[in-house]
Amino acid sequence: MSEETAGAASTSPFHDLDAYVALPRLSGLALSLDGARLVTGVSTLNPKRTKYVTALWEVDPTGERPARRLTRSAKGESGARFTPDGSLLFVSARPDPDAEEPDDEEAPAALWSLPAGGGEAEVVATRPGGVEGVVVARGSGAVVLASKTLPSSDSAEDDEQRRKERKDHKVAAILQESYPVRWWDHDLGPDSRRLLIGASTSDRSTDPDGSLELRDLTGHVGHAVHDEAEWDVTPDGVVVVTAWTVPEPGGSERETLMVIDASSGERRVLADDGDYEFTHPRVSPDGASVACIRVLRTSPDSPGDSQLVVLPIGGGALSEVAPDWDRWPTSFVWTPDSAALIVTADDGGRAPLFRVDVATGAVTALSVDHGSYSDPQVSPDGAYVYALRAAVDAPPAPVRLEAAAPGQQPAFLPAPGAAPALPGRLTQVTTTATDGTPLRGWLALPEGADEASPAPLLLWIHGGPLGSWNSWSWRWNPWLAVAQGYAVLLPDPALSTGYGLDFIRRGWGRWGEAPYRDTMAVTDAAVARPDIDGSRTAAMGGSFGGYMANWVAGHTDRFRGIVTHASLWALDQFGPTTDAYFYWRREMTPEMSTAYSPHRFVREIRTPMLVIHGDRDYRVPIGEALRLWAELTEHDGGEGIPHKFLYFPDENHWILTPQHAKVWYETVFAFLATTVHDQPWQVPDILR
């Protein structure tokens, strides 16, 4: 055990779900080009408490002034980006006060600008399909963004008319001519992304109404600019570099890098290799190079690999950056001198900030705390790194670190809202796997848990499966269970990231072996503690964690209750119905899918289960839950069964709306009260 942190209060927002869902939630970070302004998004409940609305707040990079709110609207704002003249661009569907037409509840998101010197924000660009993914050239101020456009539309006006015809005739049908057809929580089509470019927003005098003229850079290219594709632009605004999806036989696809001339729209391939995917392109400040993440593609025998590479933007040989570094980068930015990259990566139950020298490959850990860092931004003089810092025991907050000093603790900046007091403390559990591999996990303990008053244990299994319990989670928040008196175990078994490639290989393609044994080993270590009551335990998991919860249910009766959310049940059925079947075919053979499918062990399940699923989950389709529920009831007699099924018709892989999140937690805690504490089953009031 190490790195123990103490809880702060006997009462906290985690004791009251209404107070919890009302906590402000920070996301994203943008730094002005002069380094004087730092902006983050803060999501809070709308007046009806039915959804979250994001406003932009300014944080003082020096840490001297309190944070101040910049925007306010019922629709919210996102995607903050600064221009060279200091204006703040953002995306919002808020009503345009200068529009002639009445407000449209379904109005698409537009590009807005808030002047550097203050004043009112104004619309600078609109498209019928909305705008997203705004990137600004650091030198010229050129703006590159994406907009969903119908395939045959040759102008914004044409696109608007075609959309109106579909809407007026109530046509929602989509004719698909390629694969995939869905992604996570939405259908693909009938429109698709196109990249557009406009001159600097500070120079819009050529347009009579002062709006920014957007030129179509790509035309209709199908799914080439995928919904998760990213792009960047050279400082002079002359060249755009984007991730570009190309089709492969058998309905497969792969990610390449494409260079687009901003003037002519001419395209050339920058990186393409059948064995790799190329993602997250970032143009160096000197405009000479592009850094990206190169991902070795998976196979049934290999989990692939992920590393940073740099390519000359004009073409030429690729250079591997830190090829011997056994960690997978998750995000990165260039330093202003184009000599290094500031990188985030999972690492031993944490996600530090690293500085990676491009020429030598030297890797320096800038942070040494147990935090998880995201959204790094480097000051223009290269002296500081700003980031959002979170941890299992701390929600995201803006911080500052020196950009070249190893082993630092972060300096916290004045943020919107104070961090909530926790109802317990955080520590670690360590043990050894059956093959001798070191294992670890976080353990969140309630106040007062000790040998005289041991706490019941909840095992929470992370999703992915490539992931790690190393950061704050609003959706799966252990402190809500801690406030109910449970100790929550967050293990990182085989397949977890941040422990090296060999640790992932231990469980690759064999989900029911090392990942299961590791999870049970860490659970054994937790139960052996005197402050844990090993006679009262339950297990939970979502996505791959739900798969593992199902596997656990069929292979042990040590737990008194099991919650399985958005879970994989029958792998033969899951593969062809998930939104990316081509990936699944590449990762597992039919024999692996058969051997490690939880549904084969339904007759062995003796533990009461709570099944939870959203109908709009296209990554793990609802059919998994329906078949799980049918087979549970079939083998339990169909009457008086101990299992429950919580179904959300309009939620997806995650339960996102605040009131549904409350229902989720209320139902889970009611189920645990019955199974772990032998209390009578009580349906949450809102579901009666």
For 87-137, the pLDDT digits (tens) are 999 999 999 887 765 455 678 999 999 999 888 999 999 999 999 999 999
Range of the domain at 311: 223-321
| Residue 326 falls inside a structural domain | no
Render the burial of 332-342: b for 16+ CB within 10 Å, e for the rest: bbbbbebebbb
Domain final residue, candidates 277, 303, 321: 321
What is the distance between the alpha carbons of residues 240 and 144, in angstroms, rounded to a whole number? 8
| Residue 137 falls inside a structural domain | no
Tell me the pLDDT band of 161, cut-offs 50, 70 and 90.
Answer: very high
| Residue 515 falls inside a structural domain | yes
Q: Which residue has the tokens 């037409």?
A: 101
What is the distance between the alpha carbons of residues 370 and 444, in angstroms, rounded to a whole number? 14
Question: Tell me, what's the pLDDT at 202?
Answer: 66
One-letter amino acid at 101 equals E
| Strand 363-365, strand 372-378: pairing | unpaired
Angle formed at CA 417 by CA 414 and CA 419, multiple of 5 degrees = 90
Indicate if 309 and 435 belong to the same structural domain: no
| Residue 498 falls inside a structural domain | yes
Question: Tell me, what's the pLDDT at 98?
Answer: 74
Contact indicator for 486, 457 with CB cutoff of 8 Å:
yes
Render the burial of 27-37: b for 16+ CB within 10 Å, e for the rest: ebbbbbbebeb
How many folded domains does the chain comprise? 2
Closest CA to 559 of 611, 485, 609, 633: 609
- Indicate whether 206 pLDDT > 50: no
Question: Tell me, what's the pLDDT at 10?
Answer: 57
Question: Tell me, what's the pLDDT at 11?
Answer: 78
Domain final residue, candidates 321, 339, 368: 321
Bridge partners of 92, per DSSP, are 110
3-state SS record for 418-451: CCCCCCEEEEEEEEECCCCCEEEEEEEEECCCCC
Proportion of the chain above pLDDT 70, given as a percent: 96
Question: What CATH number does the domain containing 490 carry?
Answer: 3.40.50.1820
Tell me the pLDDT band of 180, cut-offs 50, 70 and 90.
Answer: very high
Question: Tell me, what's the pLDDT at 639?
Answer: 62
- The encoded tokens of residue 494 equal 């085989």
Indicate if 629 and 508 belong to the same structural domain: yes
Indicate if 309 and 433 belong to the same structural domain: no
Contact indicator for 81, 134 with CB cutoff of 8 Å:
yes
Closest CA to 69 of 114, 125, 136: 114
| Residue 20 falls inside a structural domain | no
Question: Tell me, what's the pLDDT at 656?
Answer: 95
- Within 358-415, strands assigned E span 363-365, 372-378, 384-391, 394-402, 411-412
Indicate if 315 and 432 belong to the same structural domain: no
| Residue 548 falls inside a structural domain | yes
Phi, psi of 486 (to 5 degrees): -90, 150
Indicate if 316 and 431 belong to the same structural domain: no
Mean pLDDT of 571-581: 95
Its pTM stands at 0.95
Mean pLDDT of 336-346: 98
Indicate if 443 and 567 belong to the same structural domain: yes
Contact indicator for 478, 490 with CB cutoff of 8 Å:
yes
| Residue 584 falls inside a structural domain | yes
Indicate if 300 and 438 belong to the same structural domain: no
Alpha-carbon 134 to chain mean position: 19
Query: Whole-number mean pLDDT of the chain?
Result: 95
Tens digits of per-residue pLDDT, 215-224?
Answer: 999 999 999 9
Domain final residue, candidates 276, 304, 321: 321
Tens digits of per-residue pLDDT, 433-482?
Answer: 999 999 999 999 999 999 999 999 999 999 999 999 999 999 999 999 99
Contact indicator for 92, 109 with CB cutoff of 8 Å:
yes
| Residue 346 falls inside a structural domain | no
Question: Picking from 117-126, 201-210, 233-242, 332-341, which range would have the lowest pLDDT averaged per residue?
Answer: 201-210
Cβ within 8 Å of residue 505, ≥6 positions away: 302, 303
- Indicate whether 8 pLDDT > 60: no
Number of Cβ atoms within 10 Å of the Cβ of 393: 21
Tell me the pLDDT band of 637, cut-offs 50, 70 and 90.
Answer: low
At 148 the three-state DSSP class reads strand
- Indicate whether 424 pLDDT > 60: yes
Mean pLDDT of 330-351: 98
Tell me the pLDDT band of 38, cut-offs 50, 70 and 90.
Answer: very high
Question: Tell me, what's the pLDDT at 641?
Answer: 79
Mean pLDDT of 496-519: 97
Question: Tell me, what's the pLDDT at 7?
Answer: 44
In angstroms, the Cα distances linking 386 to 35, 37, 120 are 10, 11, 27
Question: Tell me, what's the pLDDT at 103?
Answer: 53
What is the distance between the alpha carbons of residues 275 and 304, in angstroms, rounded to a whole number? 10
Question: Tell me, what's the pLDDT at 638?
Answer: 55
